[in-house]
Amino acid sequence: MDNLPSSRPLREVILLFLRLGFTAFGGPAAHIALMHDEVVKRRGWVSEQGFLDVLGATNLIPGPNSTELSIHLGFIRAGWAGLLAAGACFISPAALIVIGLAWAYVEFGSTPAVGALLYGIKPVVIAVILQALAALVPKAMRGWPLALLGAAALALYFLRVDNVLLIFGAGLLVVLVTGLQRAGASETSTPLVWWLPLASAGIAAQPAAAPFGLATLFLTFLKIGSVLYGSGYTLLAFLQRDLVDRLGWLTQQQVLDAIAIGQVTPGPVFTTATFIGYVVGAPHGLALPGALLATLGIFLPSFIFVAITNPLIPKLRNNRWTAAFLDGVNASALGLMAAVTIQLGISAFRTDPAFTPFPTLPVDPLAVLIGLGAAVALIRYKVNTTWLILGGGALGLLAGLAL
């Protein structure tokens, strides 16, 4: 890998992830689908298998998966400069938007309405995710055992089995099934990614502090970013424990509002931390420093973990133990991605009386038409996903105004 890139690959990384940072709505599953479309299908930066291996590697370390995927891809395309640029460009637009919403929240006690915008965007996101799944599933689930494993991950997700257990359990199961005993003595060392999450879990929680402090704020989010696996709902549990129960800086409603802001804005869901940093810092005249330090704290571990693990990815694929482990992780990760897509689909196509002239129907005809139109434009005419998302948002706003 060339770690001294020309300015052109670096410029490509900056432009792509800056654009995704402003337009990547829909959460991690949608972000992964968007990146797959851009870097595999449109640009050919990595192969389908290479993309799957990088995606599998992100599931083995703590932190926000889609952000870590962007950092990995930036490193692959443009070396160390690309690693920093991709992550910063993907995170910064969302953080700036969230700071604006946090200002409105502090000043007016509420956030601007985004329902109409999301009404049109969500069906487009479903189309994008389904296209990515259609391309990735045949590569990840080669043969019925891996397909069965992916299906099991999907089902167990809805039974509320922990995501981390599903990811690591699937990897270890495939290692056992493919014949652990056949590995040679030279291959018996434990991969770094197996113990890295356990090491990060040893970071101690900061002691309770009644008064607000920037150092405590930063260290709290640094700890969360270092040990957190899972979705925004997992983040909710950490925020409740640290910010509400331990420090007493937020109410439960404020935490829920923060999670909502992270989910309805483009880019990483973990910019929830930006919102919280602004809100808790505002009464002390430290709103902007609080927002910036909370953002740095929760995302900094991702850059470190990716820098450590990225050079190991080819070795993981070439080693019998870790190749089998990655196969299991990839199958389980796509099963979880499919489960999230089902949840998003129910939300996207369920009738919302505020945006449809057919409030008695269980399924919203306009949302279905937007989704089908996006799928046709994406698959048949190869329309860029950014334009589709912007078009869906515009249609949502028009529907809101019409009603």
Tokens coding 124: 């487009």
Q: What is the pLDDT of residues 179-204, one digit of tens each?
A: 744 544 444 444 434 433 433 444 44
For the stretch 221-230, pLDDT in tens is 998 888 775 5
Total residue length of the chain: 403
- Confidence (pTM): 0.68
Query: Phi, psi at residue 127, to the nearest 5°?
Result: -60, -40
Q: What is the pLDDT of residues 373-401, one digit of tens each?
A: 999 998 888 887 778 878 888 898 888 77
Checking if the pLDDT of 2 tops 70, the result is: no
Q: Per residue in 121-149, pLDDT tens? A: 788 878 877 887 887 788 778 888 899 99
pLDDT at res. 316? 67
Separation of alpha carbons 153 and 148, rounded Å: 9
**b/e burial code for range 23-59 (CB count within 10 A of at least 16 → b):** bbbbbbbbbbbbbbbbbbeeeebbeeebbbbbbbbbb
Domain ranges of the chain: 7-195+307-402, 197-298
Report pLDDT for 398.
87
Which tens digit of pLDDT belongs to each residue from 42-62? 899 999 988 988 888 887 777
Q: Express each pLDDT in 269-290 by its tens digit.
A: 889 899 999 999 999 999 999 9
Pick 129 or 365 by higher pLDDT. 365
| Distance between CA atoms of residues 333 and 311, nearest Å | 21
DSSP code of residue 403: -
User: Among 259-263, 296-300, 334-338, whose mean pLDDT is lowest?
Assistant: 259-263
Q: Phi first, then psi: give them for residue 350, nearest 5 degrees.
A: -70, 140
